[in-house]
């Protein structure tokens, strides 16, 4: 084997990073089109998330209810017919959804059992969810990469930010503090050391932000469908190991996966966050619908808490 100097290592690393970037840039138009298709399918079946509440934008008129203050009556609208009407504003709040997609080398894996590589699935779901959220009046941001935006072309903004990102492709999100009014979504295969996962989730949830953790896995990572002599290569530089009879490893492998996942579930439970496992042999729209339901439930709880706080201040 040839010996590599430090400069050789850097050249190899730069070449690999450039190759990954070019592959991602080439794939992005396809991923964007798929994200638009998936989001359109989901949006078609939704009624939106607008609601009445404190804000500046007009939402609707409704009939006056006996017992309400006369000051709430919109007399100009009421003068048009014999009923009294109240002018309602659209509920508004500084609500942001932060989305983190793990783009580390392990996410490129795809077995013959999968519909797509883990990275493709994570990006499609992130882009589609961003589209759905912005259409529902939310802001979407990417930690360390893109500030929160409510732009209608959010898919294009995220795609451009990802393609032109020159930073290291790390598994877990950078250390930052999301506001208590925000939600955080982590899309990753979560094969990082459990200590790192615990530390990062605890830090992200410390300020009170609500969160959702999605472990995206290839079906082969769940079922370990291997037999015979096989060499397993760790894609992030930890080396390789050869199994003489791979099928004899299945029981221990499944036990370790179950333990790792139970520890993640325990940590998300301590943080008050949700945890979902998604396999890449399942449709992307299935995960998108699940996440939208989770985010809607979190937004409803936030709305109730904000209303209580507003009533408490005015009492």
Residues 32-42 pLDDT 10s: 787 888 777 66
Confidence category of residue 10, pLDDT binned at 50, 70, 90:
very low
* Choice among 89-98, 280-289, 299-308 with the minimum mean pLDDT: 299-308
68-81: per-residue pLDDT in tens? 777 778 888 888 88
* Choice among 22-26, 173-177, 200-204 with the minimum mean pLDDT: 22-26
pLDDT at 198 over 70: yes
* Mean pLDDT, the chain, integer: 80
pLDDT at 225 over 90: yes
Q: 243: helix, coil or strand?
A: strand
Share of the chain above pLDDT 70, in %: 77
Q: Whole-structure pTM over 0.75, yes or no? A: no
pLDDT at 11 over 60: no
Confidence category of residue 177, pLDDT binned at 50, 70, 90:
confident
Give yes or no for a contact between 295 and 97, defined as CB atoms under 8 angstroms apart: yes
Give all domains of the chain, ordered by start, each with its CATH number. 58-91 (no CATH), 93-302 (3.40.50)
> Residues 276-303: what's their mean pLDDT?
82
- CB pairs under 8 A, 24+ apart, for 39-42? 39/127, 39/128, 39/129, 39/131, 39/132, 39/155, 39/288, 41/285, 42/128, 42/132, 42/285, 42/288, 42/289, 42/292
């Amino acid at each position: 084997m040839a010996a590599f100097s430090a400069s050789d290592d850097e050249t190899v690393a730069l070449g690999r990073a450039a190759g990954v970037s070019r592959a991602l840039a080439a794939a992005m138009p396809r991923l964007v089109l798929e994200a638009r298709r998936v989001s359109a399918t989901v949006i078609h079946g939704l009624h939106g998330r607008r609601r009445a509440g404190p804000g500046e934008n007009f939402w609707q008129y409704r009939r006056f209810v006996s017992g309400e203050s006369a000051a709430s009556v919109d007399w100009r609208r009421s003068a048009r017919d014999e009923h009294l009407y109240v002018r309602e504003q659209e509920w508004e709040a500084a609500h942001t959804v932060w989305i983190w997609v793990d783009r580390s080398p392990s996410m490129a894996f795809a077995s013959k059992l999968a519909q797509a590589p883990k990275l493709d699935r994570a990006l499609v779901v992130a882009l589609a969810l961003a589209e759905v959220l912005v259409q529902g009046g939310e802001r979407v941001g990417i930690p360390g990469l893109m500030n929160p935006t409510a732009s209608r072309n959010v898919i294009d903004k995220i795609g451009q930010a990802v393609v032109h990102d020159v930073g290291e492709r790390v598994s877990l999100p950078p250390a930052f503090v999301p506001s208590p009014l925000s939600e955080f979504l982590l899309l990753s295969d979560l094969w990082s050391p459990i200590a790192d996962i615990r530390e990062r989730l605890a830090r992200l949830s410390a300020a009170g932000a609500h969160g959702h953790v999605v472990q995206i896995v290839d079906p082969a990572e769940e079922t370990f469908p291997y037999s015979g002599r096989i060499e397993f290569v760790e894609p992030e530089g930890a080396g390789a190991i050869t199994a003489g009879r791979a099928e004899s490893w299945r029981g221990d492998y499944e036990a370790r996966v179950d333990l790792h996942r139970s520890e993640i579930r325990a940590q998300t439970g301590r943080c008050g966050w949700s945890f979902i496992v998604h396999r890449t042999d399942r449709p992307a729209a299935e995960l998108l619908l699940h996440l939208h339901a989770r985010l809607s439930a979190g937004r409803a709880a936030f709305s109730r808490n904000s209303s209580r706080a507003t009533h408490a201040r005015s009492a």
